[in-house]
Amino acid sequence: MVIAGSAMADEENKEEINRKSGIAYAAAFSLFASVVSGLIGGWLLDRWLGTAPWLLVAGIILGAAAGFYEFIRITAKIT
């Protein structure tokens, strides 16, 4: 019976590790996607309005800020 209990604990531990790694991947992807979407949005607005490179820079900064906010919000769920 000790072996069965140990196997059950190992399975629960693996499930917890999988859950935490999934949350970490989601946080990293969210950060990446926010920066890329800010970059693309700024680049498109620069082309449309002729303000290069200022809206591109602003888009990257705003995307990074939004990405870090989401990153912190999501990683707080890991604990």
> Could you tell me the pTM of the whole model?
0.82
For residues 35 and 64, is the Cβ–Cβ distance under 8 A? yes
Q: Which regions of the chain are under pLDDT 50? A: 1
Distance, C-alpha 13 to centroid of its chain: 24
- Residue 10: the pLDDT is 83
- Residue 71: the pLDDT is 95
